[in-house]
Structure 1
């Protein structure tokens, strides 16, 4: 697959311009659509036959249905992206376009003093291509978008440290606040899924900052039966802004404060011991 448009100053502008050109060709939509149908992606047979509309449809469905749907269609494309023929290039290019908002956000939070945005963007986009081309779809069929972002960050941090070491500033993805998920459909889908899972588990609704990661861990612990629902709720309720004191919480649970604290302490110890498994699964 050869791109037709001329090069522009911004790598993201070039990629978006190239994607518009690819979509306008018409001949690229049928292979992508057929891969999704062959792999049994739900509803794919009735999906749009235009490549631009097809990707929009996939992203909108991901927002509504969560990572299980995005895992299915991203996996279908990634299984075909590890080659050098035209089909592999098209599959990889489609995934790159889907992940481009994540690459933009990663670029914005990775630029340090004395560095040029466009130079950092080149590194991030190269990292995205590498993550897509080397993704082990057979071994990592779940949470695909998250794994792609983690791999992209791994390559980005390594390459930026090597290429821009004189800046002397340690790279840390947490230095810049996470933008709202409205700019990334896959992130938005994950946010909707987490809100639903937290509500079903009985956790308080606050999913900002470090608490979000804790809630993700607790949701995982429930799904893997590491913790009981009662233990998970006790941890979630205690580690939040405005949480009641142990005496009030114990009274509401019908327990004495000492026993209540001991139960929560055991749950925290169990969760801490399992955190390594969660990190590996993420």
Structure 2
């Protein structure tokens, strides 16, 4: 099953969101909560629910967690009081993080759909049980943390029943001042890079390149040799073309040609990577 295309439970949530946005009164209710609490001015609050969430997310990107804490906290408090619409808005806002967490939690031999179901359920549980009054700072980060706690617990239970171990690095060290997505991702990426023979670490921009190459290998966009050629060329202590050519028994021109061909293949696959990421 292809993780880049089969995101069934998340696709259903997105389809459902369109239906929620189309229902009479939903936008007015959420808009009323936000304007009434002073989160948004009436003039800047759209009367369409999808557009309203877009405004909240765009301001959150500009202003950071001091703004997102306010509107997420307000909606989570409403959700805690039984307002399903408030919970649904927060779930939609956190859906991209859930998709990334799910994609990075899949291991060889597992069904993507099963992992996605676990993460989606963890997201709902984190939203519905969030202590909005006690944890009002860096709300999005704490939601991700709670989502990862629920996900790791349930995945660990699944692995225990199947006899396959869950990598403890994914669940270890998840304190309030760490990012659970980054912790889980780093452990998975290091293991995947080692298995693929991609050396040079996974820190910062290097990690983004390695993640792309691991995905390209999994999707058979690149061969192992082609991926290694790119990984070696772009690492700090990587060999120059002459050294790489001697190691591979090729001419420097052939090494450059192979690398250029691999880069073109990656560029052609970029739309699929964007969906998977």
Identify whether the pair has TM-score above 0.5, normalized to the shorter chain: yes
Deviations 1:1-33 (A, max 9, x none): xxxxxxx98100100000011111232001111
Measured after TM superposition, the shift of residue 167 of structure 1 is: 5.5
* Cα pair 1:26 1:51 within 8 Å, conserved: no
Output the TM-score relative to the length of structure 1.
Answer: 0.57
Corresponding position of 1:69: 67
Q: Which runs of 5+ in 1 are unaligned?
A: 1-7, 179-206, 210-240, 242-282
Distance in structure 2 (CA, Å) of the matches to 1:167 and 1:15 = 31
* 1:109–1:34 distance in 2 versus 1, CA, 3 Å: same
* 1:57–1:14 distance in 2 versus 1, CA, 3 Å: same
Distance in structure 1 (CA, Å) of the matches to 2:79 and 2:145 = 18
Measured after TM superposition, the shift of residue 175 of structure 1 is: 2.3
Residue 36 (structure 1) aligned to one of 34, 37, 44: 34
* Cα pair 1:112 1:169 within 8 Å, conserved: no
Deviations 1:10-67 (A, max 9, x none): 1001000000111112320011111112222143553101000000110011111111
Residue 59 (structure 1) aligned to one of 57, 60, 83: 57
Corresponding position of 2:144: 149
Q: Which moved more, 1:158-167 or 1:24-33?
A: 158-167
Deviations 1:57-93 (A, max 9, x none): 1001111111111001101100000144xxx100000
Are positions 1:208 and 2:220 aligned together?
no
Number of corresponding residues: 175
Corresponding position of 1:10: 8
- Which 4+ runs in 1 deviate beyond 4 A? none
Measured after TM superposition, the shift of residue 114 of structure 1 is: 1.7
* 1:42–1:62 distance in 2 versus 1, CA, 3 Å: same
Distance in structure 1 (CA, Å) of the matches to 2:188 and 2:159 = 19
Aligned-pair RMSD on alpha carbons?
A: 2.7
Q: Which runs of 5+ in 2 are unaligned?
A: 1-5, 171-183, 191-202, 206-235, 237-277
Are positions 1:159 and 2:171 aligned together?
no
Distance in structure 2 (CA, Å) of the matches to 1:73 and 1:111 = 32
